[in-house]
């Protein structure tokens, strides 16, 4: 197997692992955040607008880590800096 093929295989495998692991934690965090927000709204219905607004800001922050993992996996697949090193060498 030539070095270019091994770099391609490693990039695809690592990008899959990065996406799989990087999506698990944010999805669990989002589930816990929504559950806590629903519990808070059930206990204090008057503060539902404040709780909802804070929930959406928190969900955006949690989701950003999953998006970063997705971006890293796309870089590994489509713009891998190691490929140019092995192609030119």
Fold observed for domain 3-80: F1FO ATP Synthase (1.20.20)
Alpha-carbon gap, residue 86 to 41, rounded angstroms: 57
Residue 87's pLDDT is 73
Kindly give the residue spans of alpha helices, DSSP state H, lying in 1-89.
3-43, 48-78, 81-88
C-alpha angle 84-79-4 in degrees, rounded to nearest 5:
45
pLDDT by residue, tens only, the chain of 89 residues: 787 788 888 888 988 898 888 889 889 999 999 999 999 999 999 999 999 999 999 999 988 988 998 898 888 888 877 777 777 76
Q: What is the pTM of this model?
A: 0.70
């Amino acid at each position: 197997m030539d070095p270019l093929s091994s770099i391609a295989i490693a990039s695809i495998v690592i990008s899959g692992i990065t996406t799989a692991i990087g999506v698990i934690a944010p999805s669990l965090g989002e589930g816990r955040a929504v559950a806590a927000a629903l519990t808070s709204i059930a206990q204090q219905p008057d503060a539902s607008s404040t709780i909802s607004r804070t929930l959406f800001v928190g969900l955006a922050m949690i989701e950003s880590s999953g998006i970063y993992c997705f971006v890293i996996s796309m870089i590994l697949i489509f713009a891998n800096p190691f490929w140019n090193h092995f192609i030119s060498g």
